[in-house]
Structure 1
Amino acid sequence: MSSSEENVRLTAGDAELTVDPAHGCRISSLRIGGVELLRQGERYGCFPMVPWCGRTGNGRFRNGDATHQLPLNPPPHALHGTGRDVSWHTAHTDGAQAAFYYDLAEPWPYPGRVTQTFELTEDALTLGLAVETYGDSFPAQAGWHPWFLRDIGGRDAVLSFDAAWQEERGADHLPTGRRIDPAPGPWDDCFGMPDGVEVTLTWPQWLELTVKSRSEWVVVYDEQEAAVCVEPQSGPPNGLNTTPRLVTPIDPLEITSTWSWVRL
């Protein structure tokens, strides 16, 4: 298919999801009962973080004997991968399900393919990301960066989660390697949930939305007034260096997340 992909709209019951493959295969809109849940704008919605999540320190990572330099998109680090900056191809769409892909290329130094899937039901959205290699093994990460609106109809979102630890954040915004007891917010921090990510956003007297993933890492970012970000990911920030997960020809990286909601 051409790279000038059109938006894809999925519906199930009164839930409506819009995916914009041409702009990083991000979710540009999620509406429930006609009410928008995601912050609007070309940088927002919900974008995939791939092939790394959060900050990679000084934009450098090692793979065996090779050291690679990534572009410093918020200096001095490389942030949130390249997948959000490229056009994806639509592989399949069918009412309430869709799949998209793009091939890894410069500035990422290894060839491979990334696939993202969406499955919408009346009360849940299931997201999937997979990273495959076309040759050499390489470390990679994958996850999602949703911007949930803080205020919906005059209701301020209440955030609730129970983490086993918080990654101590250094002055350079990278984890120091120390695990500390979870501290009060506001946060731009990574938390560990060894039994799987589970974070709840509640807009009182309207909706409770729960973000789950079998992964054990989540970044919570709520320092902006407009939105609250709950980011399940396959490893911590700077994880290409500290906790590398190798993608090999027989072992792709796969991560899923489910957002489920109930009316209050």
Structure 2
Amino acid sequence: MSNEDITLTAGDAEVSVRPGNGGRIGGLRIGGVELLRQGERYGCFPMVPWCGRIKEGRFMDGATVRQMPLNSPPHAIHGTARDGDWHTARTSADEAVITHDLADPWPHRGRVTHVVALAEDSLTLTMSVEAYDDSFPAQIGWHPWFNRSLGGEDVRLDFKPAWQEERGADHLPTGNRLDPRPGPWDDCFGMPGGVDVTLTWPGQLELRVTSREEWVVVYDEQAEAVCVEPQTGPPNGLNTLPRLVTPLEPLEASTTWSWRRL
């Protein structure tokens, strides 16, 4: 089982999958135009077994307090899988399945499976977390870095969240819900009907990020890129809204990016 880069094609769409670089999507080219910011840290990486920040890197695991490495002091951020080894389970011309075994510093054994399925006008990403021995809280999410510009006007974001999570001085949700405020954002929003965010590069391309999940973080404070991150819970959710993975019940989530030319 190798971890070499994989290239998927469908119509004039091309996706690179990089098992050897944290299981990330390295690029998405449509008609030769690259939509994702390039670089080792960019593309679109999986956030698992948690999304965003965990307060001070600590979470309750049953009656046990667990401590994760503070890779974004004073917090732990974006899970462990993006720093781990992934392996290719199978590939075809337009689909790849890659897997990652949860390991230290994560305290529980389990497996993450990521299915990357490309069509001529869409990309569907499906991730699952399975527990081998004992149950544990987990989250699944995706962190794409979409290029702010594709050579023309800057991208426009359009979405209608039901609320915005109030962000405290520690960058974590306080638990209060606000009416959505104008950007720039590094904020979590609630979309109870499912995530639905449209990115429009005027005169070029429209891309919709959808998911049945109810949470999305939008980050657009960087000059080069904007991030639209569907996830199964809010930042610090291992503490505030844990979703339990058991040997009988895996956690699964998916997101679809669909596009059309303008």
Aligned partner of 1:163: which letter? P
Aligned counterpart in structure 1 of residue 93 of structure 2, from 83, 95, 100: 95
The match for 2:65 is 67
CA contact (8 A) 2:25 2:44 kept: yes
Aligned counterpart in structure 1 of residue 180 of structure 2, from 164, 182, 196: 182
Aligned: 1:8 with 2:10 = no
Q: Distance in 2 between matches of 1:131 and 1:202?
A: 32
Instruction: Give the secondary structure class of the aligned counterpart of 1:240.
Output: helix
Aligned: 1:206 with 2:204 = yes
Aligned: 1:124 with 2:126 = no
The match for 1:166 is 164
Aligned partner of 2:12: which letter? D
Instruction: Give the secondary structure class of the aligned counterpart of 2:200.
Output: strand
Q: CA RMSD in A?
A: 0.6
Q: Distance in 1 between matches of 2:96 and 2:149?
A: 29
The match for 2:242 is 244
Deviation for aligned residue 1:250: 1.1
- Percent identical pairs in the alignment equals 69
The match for 2:46 is 48
Aligned: 1:257 with 2:216 = no
Q: Distance in 2 between matches of 1:252 and 1:56?
A: 21
Q: Distance in 1 between matches of 2:100 and 2:25?
A: 16
Deviations 1:196-248 (A, max 9, x none): 00000000111000000000000000000100000000000000000000001
Aligned: 1:78 with 2:76 = yes
Q: Distance in 2 between matches of 1:163 and 1:120?
A: 27
Q: Distance in 2 between matches of 1:229 and 1:10?
A: 23
Structure 1's unaligned 5+ residue stretches are none
Aligned: 1:219 with 2:217 = yes
Instruction: Give the secondary structure class of the aligned counterpart of 1:102.
Output: strand
Aligned partner of 1:234: which letter? T
Aligned counterpart in structure 2 of residue 196 of structure 1, from 194, 197, 202: 194
Q: TM-score, normalised by structure 1?
A: 0.98
Deviation for aligned residue 1:154: 2.1
Deviation for aligned residue 1:155: 2.1
Deviation for aligned residue 1:70: 0.2
Q: State how many pairs are aligned.
A: 262
Deviation for aligned residue 1:153: 1.2
The match for 2:227 is 229
Structure 2's unaligned 5+ residue stretches are none
Q: Distance in 1 between matches of 2:66 and 2:214?
A: 27
Q: Distance in 2 between matches of 1:236 and 1:193?
A: 11
Instruction: Give the secondary structure class of the aligned counterpart of 1:151.
Output: coil
Deviations 1:148-179 (A, max 9, x none): 00011122100100000000000000000011
